Structure 1
Amino acid sequence: MAAKGVGRTSGTIHDYPDFDANQDAETLHKAMKGFGTDEDIILDILAQRSNDQRQQIILAYKTVIGKDLVDDLKSELSGTFESLIVALLLPPDRYDAKELYDALKGAGTSEDVLVEILASRNNEEIQQIVAAYKEDFDSNLEEDIDSDTSSYFQRVLISLVQGNRDEGEADPCQAEDDAKALYEAGENAWGTDEGRFIAILCSKSVPHLLTVFEEYQKINDIDLEDSIGSECSGNLQCVLSAIVKCVKNTPAYFAEKLYNAMKGAGTDDHTLLRVMVSRAEVDMVQIKAAYKEKYEESLHSSIVGDTGGDFKDTLVKLCAGDD
């Protein structure tokens, strides 16, 4: 889902001018050759190239050097900096597929990762993720979700993973009916008809849902997200709320994710890494603006204050300055 009503989205990372994949490959090799590794050179090159250019560097490295760039980087780097650099070298669909696989196949299921990725990607992106998941892990994403989750939460994820959301314009009359159906399924019912929420929120187009939200507010004088908070709980509440937030304003959703990853004692490096890598070429400009508007501090300042070392320096480059 793209953010509607917030203008054209754009990233902070673009194609690097005067790009030379062979030269970058040779420079990276020299940075890792001999005694010690020059992390600054690795950071300067990989954090300032687009993902498409990084794929060309990977091929050039194998062609010119005769070795695998990712393997060499893994042998030279460590910790969160290694994880971040390796993440930058994966194409977006393969990176999302890896994150989903790790969320499902690791020790326990990381429901938050499943929610973030599947609630925020559009049909084409989800279809590409499903294909990459099958190719890279020889496994079926829907089947893995089915075996690792349950109840209405499982139903929402399976619905989203179809990548089959309607892409048409809003139908005002139908939007009014859908808003009434949501009201009757929740606030105006004894108990909650979770299936009705799933059917509408997981299948209707983004423009249509925006109109549904407006009509719902008129009927109930309550924001639908607040109703979901009172009518649902646990993972179901999290995923339905994420869908609503992404329909309203995807960059604001990710700004909140970044803020929550850095607030309080300790930093959730994994979430911070995943969001910065996956959104750097998509809507990071809008995420930064939403972050500053809501939290009255620049994303750059928060990153500098909550992280350190090469990990911090890479995130700052992906953030592209303080504004």
Structure 2
Amino acid sequence: MAAQGVGRTSGTVCDYPDFDANQDAEMLHKAMKGFGTDEGVISDILAERSNAQRQQIIRAYKTVIGKNLIDDLKCELSRKFESLIVALLLPPDHYDAKELHDALKGAGTSEDVLIEILASRNNAQIQQIVKAYKEDFESDLEEDICSDTSGYFQRVLVSLVQGNRDEGNADASQAEDDAKALYEAGENAWGTDEEKFIAILCSRSVPHLLAVFDEYQKANDIDIEDSIGSECSGTLQQVMLAIVKCVKNTPAYFAEKLYNAMKGAGTDDDTLMRIMVSRSEIDLVEIKAIYKAKYGDTLNSSIVGDTSGDYKNTLVKLCGGDD
């Protein structure tokens, strides 16, 4: 759904020049062979290769060494560093599928993860995630969502997981009608017509929704986010706001998520890791710029202050420096 950055990449990680999958595979094997593990070599190689190159390294490792790279790494590494390295080795759609599966199948449901992934991915990405979920877990993502969620929140997630959002341009007269319909369904109604919000926010194209939000602001002198904040509550409010924020500016949505993951006592490492891995080849350069402008600190320095060890060093590499 990335309204910003469509058709171009502003990632901090790209294809490594002079790439040699066999050489990388051998270096990784050497780093894990014998007594002790050279975590620095593992971090240097895997954080500085694109995901496509990492997939080649996995195949080369099996060819040259005759073993499974991920299995070997799991034996040698531990805790957050292990989780981060394994995340880097999964293809993006399979990583998202794993995160969704963990969110649905753990103790309780991690609604925050469902919202983050499904509100921020475009149609093609969601369709690939659904396929990967089926392949990896022999289960249907929509069915699992339905068995773990309820009410209007469930209906929003089911709508998003279709990966069937309109991809056309904005329609000026339709945008006026949609803005009016949203106002009538919320601010101007006794109670809230949630179905109208779901129908518009989950099906209209990104350019069209941007026009709707502009019309809404102009006609009612109130931001659509403020209306959702006052008209909806709980997980429905959270998912609606996430959709609106991703439509307006996807990198800004992730900058806010990263800030919240690291502010205060303790760090939400799952969120930090997931965003750094999943956005590193898409829009992390933009996320960093917004983070610095909005929070007065660089993303890199926040990571350095909130993490440690090989885990920190790998995140710093993914961050691509302190700019």
- Work out whether the TM-score is over 0.5: yes
1:62 is aligned to 2:62: yes
Q: How does 1:78-93 map to 2 (within 5 A)?
A: 78-93=78-93
What is aligned with 1:282? 282
What is aligned with 1:131? 131
- Contact kept, 8 Å, 2:251 with 2:290, in 1: the verdict is yes
TM-aligned CA distance change 1:107 to 1:42, over 3 Å: same
Any idea what SS the aligned residue of 2:321 has?
Answer: coil
Q: Deviations over 1:68-123 (max 9, x none)?
A: 00000000000100000000000000000000000000110000000000000000
Taking the aligned partners of 2:238 and 2:88, their CA distance within structure 1 comes to: 28
- Contact kept, 8 Å, 2:118 with 2:126, in 1: the verdict is yes
TM-aligned CA distance change 1:103 to 1:26, over 3 Å: same
Q: What is the TM-score normalised by the length of structure 1?
A: 0.99
TM-aligned CA distance change 1:91 to 1:6, over 3 Å: closer
What is aligned with 2:261? 261
What is aligned with 2:252? 252
What is aligned with 2:97? 97
Q: CA deviation at 1:231?
A: 0.3
Q: Deviations over 1:137-187 (max 9, x none)?
A: 000000000000000000000000000000000000000000000000000
Q: CA deviation at 1:4?
A: 3.3
Taking the aligned partners of 2:26 and 2:241, their CA distance within structure 1 comes to: 47
Taking the aligned partners of 2:158 and 2:293, their CA distance within structure 1 comes to: 34
- Contact kept, 8 Å, 2:5 with 2:283, in 1: the verdict is no
Any idea what SS the aligned residue of 1:37 has?
Answer: coil
Letter in 2 for 1:253: Y
What is aligned with 2:177? 177
- Contact kept, 8 Å, 1:9 with 1:286, in 2: the verdict is no
Taking the aligned partners of 1:159 and 1:42, their CA distance within structure 2 comes to: 40
What is aligned with 2:236? 236
Of the structure 1 ranges 71-80 and 3-12, higher mean CA displacement relative to structure 2 is found in 3-12
TM-aligned CA distance change 1:155 to 1:103, over 3 Å: same
RMSD between superposed Cα atoms in Å: 1.0
Structure 2 stretches of 5 or more lacking a match?
none
Letter in 2 for 1:132: A
What is aligned with 2:305? 305
Dislocated runs of 4+, deviation >2 Å: 3-9
1:3 is aligned to 2:3: yes
Taking the aligned partners of 2:274 and 2:6, their CA distance within structure 1 comes to: 23
Q: CA deviation at 1:270?
A: 0.5
Q: CA deviation at 1:6?
A: 9.2
What is aligned with 2:199? 199
What is aligned with 1:222? 222
1:34 is aligned to 2:40: no
Taking the aligned partners of 1:250 and 1:64, their CA distance within structure 2 comes to: 41
What is aligned with 1:189? 189
Identity of matched residues, %: 82
Letter in 2 for 1:39: E
Q: CA deviation at 1:3?
A: 2.6
Any idea what SS the aligned residue of 2:270 has?
Answer: helix
Q: How does 1:142-157 map to 2 (within 5 A)?
A: 142-157=142-157
Q: CA deviation at 1:42?
A: 0.2
Q: CA deviation at 1:10?
A: 1.2
Taking the aligned partners of 1:299 and 1:33, their CA distance within structure 2 comes to: 35
TM-aligned CA distance change 1:319 to 1:298, over 3 Å: same
Letter in 1 for 2:202: C
Taking the aligned partners of 1:33 and 1:184, their CA distance within structure 2 comes to: 66
Taking the aligned partners of 2:279 and 2:154, their CA distance within structure 1 comes to: 26
Letter in 1 for 2:306: D
